Amino acid sequence: MLLSPPRTILISGASRGIGRAIAERLLADGYRLSLGMRNLAALAGTALDPERAGVDEQGRPRVLLHTYNAEDPTSAETWVAASVSQFGAIDSLVHSAGVFSRVPLLFDNGQEQEIQQLWDVNVMGPWWLTRAAWPQLAAHGSGRIVVLVSMSGKRSKGRLAGYTASKFALMGLCQTMRNEGWEQGIRVTAICPSWVNTEMAAAVNAMPKEAMSQPGDIAALTAQLLELPNSCVPFELAVSCNLEV
């Protein structure tokens, strides 16, 4: 059952993949959304276009699109301020923006920049955005943070050194968010999927795409998390489409 009034949720990485599926599901469920992305035109004419998404009970647009660059700390502050200006308050945050890289342990000269981008987007991006949104989340009394981490934040398989290191760091950050916000009613969930049928997994041939987890399934889990009371919110959801050993 939705809270009354419904939650007002910031979602990063909402222009495609898992983030977009989450945004579409939460809009259909009646929430107000502020969507941060690099390319605002990506949602023009879709269900997430503010012109099509309708208005809330106060007559305000139910969807705000705002530019957001996870590598720019000021971008997080600007986005949060614009969201509060439109909706009056925000109470939930979904971190879905992220980058993937195959940079190995024994990386080549010149790949340092790729490693730095992994850190900036996958770790510092959520850190800066959470910091900017924290006063709003704490003021609500039942704030929520959902972070798309990855199974790569729980174990290392193969040679994805850079990506795995960034996701392990993100999982540690999630644990500290949980510790920091517990007494203020902020609940944090790290969702850890293995392969999800998105552009990121397009080059994966180890399993058919229909056997992977689907973006809509991750969106359904996220929607359910937002409906749970503070006393029943899991910290970690491991979502595996293959046997993890």
Give the CATH number, domain containing residue 45.
Answer: 3.40.50.720
CA 27 to the chain's CA centroid? 15
Amino acid letter at 129? L
Residue 1 is predicted with a pLDDT of: 47
Amino acid letter at 244? E
> Does residue 163 have an active-site annotation?
yes
Q: Is 162 helix (H, G, I), strand (E, B) or coil?
A: helix
Taking the chain (245 residues) in runs of 10, the rounded mean pLDDT of each run is 77 96 97 96 95 90 96 97 97 97 95 97 98 98 98 93 98 98 98 90 81 96 97 96 85
Q: Is residue 118 part of a domain?
A: yes
Residue 56 is predicted with a pLDDT of: 86
Residue 172 is predicted with a pLDDT of: 98
Q: Is residue 244 part of a domain?
A: no
The phi-psi region of residue 25 (left if phi > 0; otherwise alpha if psi is between -120 and 50; otherwise beta) is alpha
Instruction: Give the separation between CA 91 and CA 131, rounded to whole angstroms.
Output: 13
| Identified catalytic residue from 79, 127, 128, 163 | 163
Q: Is residue 188 part of a domain?
A: yes
Q: How many domains does the chain have?
A: 1
Instruction: Give the separation between CA 106 and CA 51, rounded to whole angstroms.
Output: 49
Instruction: Give the separation between CA 138 and CA 81, rounded to whole angstroms.
Output: 16
Q: Which domain holds residue 68?
A: 8-239
CA 150 to the chain's CA centroid? 11
Q: Where are the alpha helices (DSSP H) in 120-214?
A: 125-140, 161-181
Q: Is residue 102 part of a domain?
A: yes
Residue 207 is predicted with a pLDDT of: 86
Taken in order 61, 18, 123, 41, the sign of the CA dihedral is negative
Instruction: Give the separation between CA 19 and CA 54, rounded to whole angstroms.
Output: 20
Q: Is residue 3 part of a domain?
A: no
The pTM is what? Answer: 0.95
Q: Is residue 2 part of a domain?
A: no
Among 95, 98, 82, 77, smallest CA distance to 34 is for 82
Q: Is residue 245 part of a domain?
A: no
Instruction: Give the separation between CA 20 and CA 45, rounded to whole angstroms.
Output: 14
Residue 4 is predicted with a pLDDT of: 63
- The answer for residues whose C-beta is within 8 angstroms of residue 11's C-beta and 6 or more apart is 19, 22, 23, 26, 33, 34, 35, 36, 94, 96
Tokens representing 14 are 């909402």
Q: Is residue 217 part of a domain?
A: yes
Q: Is 237 helix (H, G, I), strand (E, B) or coil?
A: strand
Residue 3 is predicted with a pLDDT of: 57
Tokens representing 215 are 């973006």
Residue 32 is predicted with a pLDDT of: 97
Quick check: bond before 5 cis, omega within 30? yes
